[in-house]
Amino acid sequence: MTVPPTEHALAQTGAVPPPGCPAHIGDGPGGATRLYGPAAETDPMGLYEDLRAAHGPVAPVLLDGDVRAWLVLGYLENRDVASRPTQFSRDPRVWHGWRSGEIDPETSPLVPMIGWRPDCVCADGEEHQRLRGAVTAGLNQFDHRGVRRTINRFAHELIDTFCEDGEVELVERFAEHLPMLTLTHLLGMSDESAPELVRAARDLFKATETSLASNAFVLECLEQLVVEKHARPGHDIASALLAHPAGLTDEEVQHHLRLILLAGYETTANLMSNVLRMVVTDPRFRGSLAGGQMTLPEAVEQVLWDEPPLMVCPGRWANDDTTLGGQQIKAGDMLLLGLAAGNMDQTIRPSSATPVHHNRAHLSFSAGTHECPGQDIGRIIADAGIDILLTRLPDIALAVPEESLSWRSSTWARHLTALPVTFAARPPQGDVLPDPLPAPPARSDGRPAAAVPPASAPGTAPGPAPRVPWLTRLRRFLGLG
């Protein structure tokens, strides 16, 4: 790709970063700035603004291993890239870096995020429509009120594990686990698989040396799920994908389950953490909620504008030479959608202090034909879960000085590491099991779904093991005994 010299870019904008700022510290080969390392980890939003000042709405950057890319910072430019699939492909095989040897596909921690997979995210045109249709059908089979009831039960049971203590760390004990419990439930997985999947999912987004192993673990779990659902289909996303008339292969089903699990978990867990932090640190935010000036769904939208759960979205690849944001983009170049930077673009948002909680035009779920199909379920998890928490523990207060809160950042996302709070201790609501799922729906070919044979019938496969009481299983899941 063509990377303009830093001096030329600075002369164009008239902005010269002072010595010691992230734009200088991160300078790499060709005048591009590293999106990894100390500057990106400590102040990613500041880094984006330095890049905007130096290069305008599109900036040359380097990923782990000094892999070259363009970071799209402008709101309009992000929408332009996301809305022109013929010019900016989602198929990473277009990238020239595979042919030039810029990356080692066997060892690079970037591969789980930018490598090709047989899923709708890596497809364009008719193939994208075929795969996306199956995913949308799998997600839309659930009535939102039913999903909300399931989330409410999971949320109550999680709260029951700490409500008597009078204190809790909300990120680990609530915000990270509620989305994974809900998603594994919807996908058709067992509750026991959730703890390891939480760790693997977070590791994947860190882009560390263990990311490849974490990716392999997730795929192995989902491969086993596909095998199980062939034998015992149910009312879940895995079974719906297998039965869809688009005729997905087992590998395609496995990778779409990975997509739903990882994208849905990461964004929802971060969103919940960010909303809860605002509740316990910003009196105006909490007062607007308590006073009715802002509903909880509106509070979620405000946080989606201010702190997108996914800050950078990989990626797009240029099919042809073009110009974007004043930069010369060459065929095969990689582009990254700067969702957080786009949301703060003063072109469309002159003041970040102006409330935008009524507006869903943010970039937090991307845009165009690849806009996240599961965003409404993510919103429901965050909205319902936080509503239950604040209803049951309305007096939660931050247990440490606000300035002691810390974040862990990667190229793609920024995570609040902990949110310790205190509250008046209250008794749990009881050991209540979730309602059983309804019977599996009819198959798409008109034939009824296969029934699970009873355990007592002679000559049939053994039935499921007896259920352990829900609160006991949940405590084991959380490592509480």
426: which 2 tokens?
Answer: 């209250």
Q: What angle (nearest 5°) sits at the alpha carbon of residue 401, between those of residues 396 and 406?
A: 95
- CB-based burial of residue 52 (10 Å sphere; 0-12 exposed, 13-18 middle, 19+ buried)? buried
Residue 117, C-beta contacts closer than 8 angstroms, at least 6 positions apart:
255, 258, 259
Report whether 55 contacts 79 (CB < 8 A).
no
Instruction: Report which secondary-structure segment, H or E, holds 63.
Output: strand 58-63
Greatest pairwise CA separation for the chain in angstroms: 82
Amino acid identity of 5?
P
Q: Please list the helix, strand and coil fractions of the chain in percent, rounded to the nearest 5, in that order.
A: 50, 10, 40
Distance from C-alpha of 402 to C-alpha of 408, rounded to nearest angstrom? 16
Do residues 184 and 432 make contact, with C-beta atoms less than 8 angstroms apart? no
Provide the β-strand partners of residue 27. Answer: 33
From first to last of its 481 residues, the chain has per-residue pLDDT tens of 333 333 333 333 334 344 344 444 446 777 799 999 888 888 899 999 999 999 999 999 999 999 999 999 999 999 999 999 999 999 999 999 999 989 998 889 899 899 999 999 999 999 999 999 999 999 999 989 999 999 999 999 999 999 999 999 999 999 999 998 999 999 998 767 666 777 787 777 666 678 788 888 888 989 999 999 999 999 999 999 999 999 999 999 999 999 998 888 889 999 999 999 999 999 989 988 888 888 999 999 999 999 999 999 998 999 999 999 999 999 999 999 999 999 999 999 999 888 888 899 999 999 999 999 999 999 999 999 999 999 999 999 999 999 999 998 889 999 999 999 999 999 998 654 445 444 444 444 444 344 333 333 333 333 333 333 444 544 454 455 4
Q: In sequence order, which residues have a C-beta less than 8 Å from that of residue 143 and are 6 or more positions away?
A: none
Closest CA to 386 of 267, 299, 288, 256: 299
Cβ proximity of 338 and 72 under 8 Å: yes
| Positions of E strands within 298-442 | 312-318, 322-324, 327-329, 334-338, 397-398, 407-409, 414-416, 420-422
Q: Token pair of 297, please? A: 């769904």
Instruction: Name residue 336's amino acid.
Output: L
Instruction: Encode burial over 62-73: b for 16+ CB neighbours within 10 A, e otherwise.
Output: bbbeebbbbbbb
Q: How many CB atoms lie within 10 A of CB 149?
A: 14
Q: How far is CA 438 from CA 237, 329, 443, in A?
A: 14, 52, 15
Amino acid at 103: I
Global pTM value? 0.82
